[in-house]
Amino acid sequence: MKRRKFIGLLSGAAVMWPLAARAQQGKPPGRTFHVAVLLQGAERTMGRRLEALRAGLRELGHIEGQNIRLIVRWNEGELDRLSDLAAELLRDQPDVIVGAPVLAAVAAHKHTRTVPIVIANGSGPVQAGLAESYARPGGNVTGVVNLGDELTSKQLQLLKTIAPNTSHVGILTTGTAIIYEETLRDATRAASALNLKLVEVRIGTFDELPRLASLCGKGNCNGLLVTSDPLLQNWRAQIGKRKSPCSLFPT
């Protein structure tokens, strides 16, 4: 399987860097490739991502049951399960492991420095120690990531453009995102330039989502910036139903 074609299946507002080390070289033609996939969330709500991967593989001639074997594990939204699931997948000696978001790749990286790891989406691979830099990553990790630090100011600019009377913006997080502190710093700087006041909102569990109603429903904020957070991505449908006149979601 050609690495660049495989990575091309994975979409997002992203940057791609070359894989510095390949563990599996010189595979004989016609062999079946084993692809392990570790995903944050639940298939019932996030299954479209997996189907997109399968569809892209089929377009390139990689057919399950013929020349490719896909083994998938979901963590059902429990971040502390990622490490055990990664270890389980790696015991089967895959040719490559796909992780989404970056936290899934981090979990896989704890268990292997030889099996190639492809990040499908997320933020903060350098901060998480998966790569030395975007230009020269080194190691066994490649993929696509969201450049959340650059998108934050653009998101706030867009919010101000479509809702010019916005004055207070809630910035929502669970505190699990690798680059949240950087996102908060960038958002604070961008908000100041746009004459916006940021209101930080932290929630730890799905059951705390009703807090958004009290924040955005009583005039405390008239806009909502949802950070690139692995848990919040699972809850985006429920967040969108909360009373908020303007919500922005990470891509």
- More confident site: 221 or 220: 221
Backbone angles phi, psi at 211, to 5 degrees: -60, -25
In words, the CATH class of domain 148-248 is alpha beta
Equal CATH topology for 3-146 and 148-248: yes
In words, the CATH class of domain 3-146 is alpha beta
Q: What is the mean pLDDT of the segment spanning 12-39?
A: 60
pLDDT at 246 over 60: no
Residue type present at position 138: G
Model pLDDT for residues 16-25, shown as the tens digit of each residue: 344 433 434 4
- Per-residue pLDDT, 4: 42
Model pLDDT for residues 85-128, shown as the tens digit of each residue: 999 999 999 999 999 988 899 999 999 999 999 998 877 888 88
Strand partners, 15: 145
